[in-house]
Amino acid sequence: MEQRRVTDFFAHRRLGPRAVPPRAKLPCRTPSPAEHAPRAPGSAPSGSRKRARPPADPGQPKAPPPARRRLRLSADAGETYSLGSPADLDSSADPRPRACSSLGTKVQKVTVSADQLSSPAASQDKVPPTDTISELQSCLQRARELGARVQALRAKKDAESLCPPETEHHAEPPCGEKLPAYQRFHALAQPSPPGLVLPYKYQVLAEMFRSMDTIVGMLFNRAETVTFAKVKQGVQDMIRKRFEEHNVGQIKTVYPASYCFRQERNIPTFKDGVRRSDYQLTIEPLLDQETSSAVPQLTASHLLQRRQVFGQKLLERAREHHKAFLASLSPPMEVPDDQLTRWHPRFNVDEVPDIEPAELPQPPTLEKLSTAQEVLARARSLMSPRMEKALSQLALRSAEPSSSALLASPPATSPTTPTGALKGVSQDLLERVRAKEAQKQLAQMTRCPEQELRLQRLERLPELARVLRSVFVSERKPALTMAVVCARMVGSYRTSMSPGEMEKHLLLLSELLPDWLSFHHIRTDTYIKLDKAADLASITMRLAVLTRAEEK
């Protein structure tokens, strides 16, 4: 059977040549799924290189369909892209009518769907209920309110951006707004031992003077005219802060003998916004006349000396405010300047008032007509009688003194100390307590740095005594070397400390309590012996008494 099928296959393959119709050029059209439908046997498309498939023998068993034909689409797709019956395929030799019919089927189905959607029943289902409409209206109203708020915020932001930066810088901060913490507590953040720390604003001014002196010295040594515009740009590049004319006025207030300021014109400037005929503020450093050279120079030694003088003047101003604070205390205090080593504990250094800027030379003002009387006197002959009468009335109105403009200044009230909390306390006791506190603060302000360091070590001794005794108890030895004891105590103490610093604390402890702690030098090592039988509470009490005696 199989041999006969092969023979029939080759017999059908040897068919005679057929007349091939002339190839016609098809017009450009959109491809349709109908074009991919299988064609009837014997009707091969024109121009195809494949041989026609012979018709199947009715006696032969029907072969299974190929895999491409076994694919089935969904119901909708199957209806849209139906292949049609074999009779239709045989009757239509040209694929173009099938494509048109397929497109017509699609249009018909889309039209039916649109008719179904536009039916009254569907429209009734799609109508939203009344509560949904009210919700939509409320959401729309809320969106309009939010849009109005956004536009108001944008307008406010644009108005703030249009303000010049100079006015924002000179404006004083409001009473409720506080300065940043690094400015309010700058003195407290300085490393110990405490001393006469300058306020933050004074330190910034000292840095501005140093930068300004450097820029002025460079330009002055090159025999170039020093203008404020050149100095401003250089100082701002060095300190990364704003440098304005009021800062120059503060420098002049603190150190008036440092510079000579003038308003000059006809200075060559290479800027578009400044004309040669405009007045500019020029800066000239004032030097000693002891220099032997014909051309004076602002050398590095001059810069260092001027910087030290400026720092001393700032410190004198801070001392003046400190003196005023001491005089305002209830028991007034007075400390000589040569004995003052630190500020009063209640003196807030960073709240010292700003330095008032001195007046700088201003460019000569040209004659300008600012009042109606001046305009009337100047242009009386150039105006009409009606305009002259209006200007006369305005001049008379502005000349009358306005009583509403006079504002009475509120009387200054002296701060009074509240006495409600101290009601019933003896006045003599209060005086003694205040005198004792003032004496303690006076001793604290006049204490030298060596005494301050000794007191800091005395405050650590009670805890170090407990650690030292625990080291001897854990080691179970009557004597230990200095290196071993220092290493154990450094590892056990709550703060980091070097072995050399720990040794100084042990020497001080041995000096204060020789009967409890003793040193023995044997050859090259130093041994420490401790009386472990002594009461640790009594040792701690003795150290506290010695510390209080040192503080007085």
Over residues 312-335, the pLDDT tens digits come to 999 999 999 999 999 998 888 888
Identify whether residues 186 and 316 lie together within a single domain.
yes
Q: Which residue has the higher pLDDT, 244 or 176?
A: 244
Which of the listed ranges 24-33, 168-177, 288-297, 512-521 does the model predict with the highest average pLDDT? Answer: 512-521
Mean pLDDT of 491-509: 90
Mean pLDDT of 289-314: 83
Q: What is the Cα–Cα distance from 341 to 310, expressed in whole angstroms? A: 20
Mean pLDDT of 195-204: 88
441: in domain: no
| Cα–Cα–Cα angle for 214, 215, 220, rounded to 5 degrees | 100
Mean pLDDT of 295-301: 87
User: How many CB atoms are closer than 10 A to CB 103?
Assistant: 14
Q: What does the H/E/C string look like for 471-538?
A: HHHHHCCCEEEHHHHHHHHHHHCCCCCCHHHHHHHHHHHHHHCCCCEEEEEECCEEEEEECCCCCHHH
| Rounded percentage of the chain residues whose pLDDT exceeds 70 | 62
Whether the predicted pLDDT of 517 surpasses 80: yes
Identify whether residues 190 and 321 lie together within a single domain.
yes
Q: Which residue has the higher pLDDT, 68 or 348?
A: 348
Residue ranges making up the domain that contains 526: 448-551
- pLDDT of 170 reads 42
Q: What is the Cα–Cα distance from 302 to 299, expressed in whole angstroms? A: 5
- pLDDT of 107 reads 42
Whether the predicted pLDDT of 280 surpasses 50: yes
- pLDDT of 268 reads 78
pLDDT interval class at 433 (50, 70, 90) = confident
207: in domain: yes
User: How many CB atoms are closer than 10 A to CB 366?
Assistant: 5
| Cα–Cα–Cα angle for 439, 443, 444, rounded to 5 degrees | 115
Whether the predicted pLDDT of 510 surpasses 60: yes
Number of domains composing the chain: 2
- pLDDT of 40 reads 47
Mean pLDDT of 497-511: 91
Q: What is the Cα–Cα distance from 210 to 251, expressed in whole angstroms? A: 11
Burial class (CB in 10 A: 0-12, 13-18, 19+), 238: middle
Q: Name the nearest CA neighbour of 360 among 251, 444, 274, 450.
A: 251
Token pair listed for 438 = 């003032």
Q: Residue 48: CA atoms inside 13 Å, Cβ hemisphere, count?
A: 11
Over residues 338-392, the pLDDT tens digits come to 888 888 888 888 889 999 999 998 888 766 666 766 766 776 666 677 777 787 7
- pLDDT of 533 reads 85
235: in domain: yes
- pLDDT of 400 reads 61
CATH at residue 514:
1.10.10.1420
- pLDDT of 3 reads 54
Mean pLDDT of 293-305: 85
Q: Name the nearest CA neighbour of 206 among 247, 246, 261.
A: 247
350: in domain: no
CB 551 within 8 A of CB 440: yes
| Rounded percentage of the chain residues whose pLDDT exceeds 90 | 24
pLDDT interval class at 128 (50, 70, 90) = low
Over residues 253-270, the pLDDT tens digits come to 999 999 999 998 888 776
**CA dist 21 to 54, 71, 364, 452, 485, Å?**
19, 33, 107, 120, 117
Mean pLDDT of 408-430: 59
Whether the predicted pLDDT of 125 surpasses 50: no
Q: Which residue has the higher pLDDT, 428 or 68?
A: 428
CB 449 within 8 A of CB 347: no
260: in domain: yes
Token pair listed for 496 = 């980091």
Q: Residue 552: CA atoms inside 13 Å, Cβ hemisphere, count?
A: 6
372: in domain: no
Whether the predicted pLDDT of 109 surpasses 90: no
* H or E element that contains 103: helix 95-117
Average pLDDT of the chain? 74
Whether the predicted pLDDT of 306 surpasses 70: yes
- pLDDT of 93 reads 41
24: in domain: no
229: in domain: yes
- pLDDT of 118 reads 44
